[in-house]
Amino acid sequence: MKHPILSAVLFFISSMAISQTGEYHQAFVEDFSDSTSAYFRYGSTGNKTDFKYKLGENSSIEEGTKVLSFKIDPLDSAGAGRGPEIISKRFTHFGTYAARLKVPQVTEIQPNVGAVVGYFTYHVDSVPGLSEIDFEWLLADPTVIYVGTWTGQPGELKRVGRTINLAKGIIYNTTYREGHGGERTPLTGMQNQPDTIAAIADYDASAQFYTYGFDWHADRIRWWMIHPTSNEKIVLWDYQGTTTGIPQHRSLYRMNFWHTKDWSVETNPLSTEKPLHPYELEVDWMSYEPFESGSK
């Protein structure tokens, strides 16, 4: 079932002669209705199991919807990229990114599972280093969303991030830190907007499809989602007022699903267990639209 906003985007893009020459992607929507993709390649570094990655599959919960199906392999080792992952064939840059997806529903089967769904950009250039913007969900509590960025050189990474419980309307933290284990400094003012967030009744990223997105500017990043009943755009975090933590250079557009043995969800410190079953992530579509000023 395609969202009305996506239908309009699809019509607009289908009326254009989209060129895919050159280093950067122009605007596209990948609806995963075919068995191959013009915009993404498969990039898992883990086991080469066939069931991990399939396009054009029927959704398990939504009749008539074809999806990208990611299934985690319980035999894969822990680590980002070990599970199924898709990576854009060309670079992307400043623009609007959006996706409609449903994360696996596993809390009743394995409440302490350590597994991550990532919707993000990621690329490392020798200078200035990492360019990453992300949405992440830990399956042990699909009411919690992690958003943020990583920038900088390997060994000198910087993170700005926000953790939100959308079902309860709680912002757990909005912080800056250096490295994975660095001290977290709370962000304030323009870097902490909105400073409160309304609960979305019964929000559960594993219960149905939701549309998420982010707008990547040189001096601002805004993470958002579409409200499931009102169709309003809900701003999760509008980070601006500084360029610290905002990637300035090209990246690659990605989706992945992997086992973590070290990162537990905010609400459950025990949630680092190896997945026991081939849980399934479903992605309805992903889109990208560079800003008019250019994709570079």
Pair of tokens at residue 106: 């596993």
**Tokens matching residue 95:** 């623009």
Asked if residue 295 is part of any domain, the answer here is no
Which amino acid belongs to residue 60? S
Q: Kindly state whether residue 18 falls inside one of the protein's structural domains.
A: no
> CA geometry: angle at 161 spanning 176 and 6, to 5°?
150
In a domain? residue 154: yes
| Amino acid, res. 66 | K
pLDDT at residue 189 greater than cutoff 50: yes
Domain count, the chain: 1
What is the spatial distance between Cα 229 and Cα 240, in angstroms, rounded to a whole number? 28
The range of the structural domain enclosing residue 253 comes to 40-289
For residue 11, is it within any domain? Answer: no
Domain for residue 53, yes or no?
yes
Q: Is residue 185 classed exposed, middle or buried when 0-12, 13-18 and 19+ CB atoms within 10 A define those classes? A: exposed
Q: β-pairing, 115-125 with 129-138?
A: antiparallel
CA 7 to CA 13: how far, in whole Å?
10
pLDDT of residue 6: 53
Which three-class secondary structure string do you get for the chain?
CCCHHHHHHHHHHHCCCCCCCCCECCCEEECCCCCCCCCEEECCCCCCCHHHEEEEEECCCCCCCEEEEEECCCCCCCCCCCCCEEEECCEECCEEEEEEEECCCCCCCCCCECEEEEEEEEEEECCCEEEEEEEEEECCCCCEEEEEEEEECCCCCEEEEEEEECCCCEEEEEEEEECCCCCCEECCHHHHCCCCCCCCCCCCCCCCCEEEEEEECCCEEEEEEECCCCCCEEEEEEEECCCCCCCCCCECEEEEEEECCCCCCCCCCCCCECCCCCCEEEEEEEEEEECCCCCC
Q: So what's the pLDDT on residue 22?
A: 82
- Give the model confidence (pLDDT) of 41-91 as tens digits: 999 999 999 999 999 999 999 999 999 999 999 999 999 999 999 999 999
CATH number of the domain bearing residue 176: 2.60.120.200
> Is residue 4 situated within a structural domain?
no
CA 210 to chain centre: 12
What would the two tokens of residue 72 be? 């985690």
Share of the chain above pLDDT 70, in %: 92
Residue range 129-155: average pLDDT? 97
Asked if the structure places residue 2 within a domain, the reply is no
Q: Mean of the pLDDT values across residues 239-257?
A: 97
Is residue 20, in this structure, part of any structural domain at all? no
Model confidence pLDDT, tens digit, residues 280-295: 999 999 999 999 864 4
Structure-token pair, residue 260: 């973590």
- Specify the pLDDT at position 3: 52
